[in-house]
Structure 1
């Protein structure tokens, strides 16, 4: 998640949409007062600009760090709301923190991806460390199978951003969004944080039964309606 006061834009980072690559690219546009949230250390080397900065804040609406973690000296996670700004942060919370004047005057953008394709990528990512990977069908029964992307860039049933781009046309859409925000210099998007696929030649459709296809359609009806995706 990035708030650029220098260019008056807000990037809301979604899951399995090359969000880390987008951040790596647009960090180079940021100034010293901009907010850049951290992500896993292994990917930080790929940033093309400023490192994480200004993301720790105190705010009356910020969740408090549990006392037991403080007493045990446990570190705060880079993705946890108690640090302030964090990577997959929903629009409503960003709005609370930056205030109405900033929220209403800055250009806000995010990205999403064909939900059937994204779901397979999520499954491969969440099960990559398993010695024996569960079947896709079995994984889809778990609470962790759900990807809350549309809840990040929507608020009160409507779109909370000015531009919602597609993963499938990522660099083109990113530069279109930046141009609308007033950034005149195009950026290139690096390949970072890519989930390895043991069966890269296998298309996402092959993972689905008709029942699983319909399950994804029910779960992600908002982004399907917004971007016109189909199976």
Structure 2
């Protein structure tokens, strides 16, 4: 698939010359909606959760095989490109080497304790998600964390951002906690100041801290240690 495939702005936007890495539960659905990723499409599987390794142009390099995670991302990339039938075709748009190098690459991250609780709420409110994650309505938050922390859509945020050499080649990392201001900065950088940010999949209720005990708090601290240190998060921040 060529680097010019696609009708308009999306996770990879040729119009705005940008690449957005959508980490689950970090306001990415709202951002993709603002950039037109869902235009002409309704249904499930709208979002594009490809990691940077599933987008960067490949070259024959031993770095591709330096880690199990690299090999798994490479295999997933091949599977999605050749076999996966995603009904939102925008999720398969690619970039060539020149575009990848020059496009503005950005993402948004979130406090991992808040992110995991948000994912739990999302899954427990959707029967299809519950089935896919093998949980029922009686699954407690602690049970969920013990089973799924660091796996599938709850993989470390750093997992989505590292290239095959272990670097994070992004131009800007915004924060969920400063979403409106950081997204305005992104819009200025890509020349899209007329775009407003809708709030999709917005949660309700109180804060995440009340739902943790010492055990679950420590599980998150250990599983997501790298991103906590890299982005300066803490349980109370």
- Higher share of residues assigned helix: 2
Q: Is residue 205 of structure 1 aligned with residue 213 of structure 2?
A: no
1:127-206 to structure 2, matched below 5 A, reads: 127-128=124-125, 129=127, 132-143=137-148, 146=151, 147-148=154-155, 149-155=157-163, 156-181=165-190, 183=191, 185-195=193-203, 197=204, 200-201=205-206, 203-206=207-210
1:41-70 CA distance string (max 9 Å, x none): 2798xxxxxxxxxxxxxxxx642328xxxx
C-alpha contact 2:20 2:106 (8 A) present in aligned 1: yes
Q: Which runs of 5+ in 2 are unaligned?
A: 1-9, 47-76, 131-135
User: How far apart in 2 are the matches of 1:144 and 1:77?
Assistant: 26
1:1-231 to structure 2, matched below 5 A, reads: 2-27=11-36, 36=37, 41=43, 62-63=78-79, 64-65=82-83, 76-78=85-87, 85=91, 97-128=94-125, 129=127, 132-143=137-148, 146=151, 147-148=154-155, 149-155=157-163, 156-181=165-190, 183=191, 185-195=193-203, 197=204, 200-201=205-206, 203-231=207-235
Q: Which runs of 5+ in 1 are unaligned?
A: 28-35, 45-60, 67-75, 87-93
C-alpha contact 1:110 1:165 (8 A) present in aligned 2: yes
> With structure 1 as the length reference, what TM-score do the two structures score?
0.67
Alpha-carbon spacing, 1:225–1:187, altered in 2? closer, same or farther (3 Å): farther
> With structure 2 as the length reference, what TM-score do the two structures score?
0.66
Alpha-carbon spacing, 1:221–1:160, altered in 2? closer, same or farther (3 Å): farther
Structure number with the bigger relative contact order (C-alpha 8 A, sep ≥ 6) is 2
Alpha-carbon spacing, 1:113–1:40, altered in 2? closer, same or farther (3 Å): farther
User: How far apart in 2 are the matches of 1:220 and 1:21?
Assistant: 24
User: How far apart in 2 are the matches of 1:171 and 1:127?
Assistant: 27
How many pairs does the alignment contain? 182
Alpha-carbon spacing, 1:186–1:84, altered in 2? closer, same or farther (3 Å): closer
User: How far apart in 2 are the matches of 1:43 and 1:191?
Assistant: 18
User: How far apart in 2 are the matches of 1:209 and 1:40?
Assistant: 39
Following TM superposition, the consecutive aligned residue runs of length 4 or more in structure 1 with deviations greater than 3 angstroms are: 36-40, 83-86, 143-146
SS in 2 for 1:159: coil
In angstroms, what is the RMSD of aligned CA positions?
A: 3.0
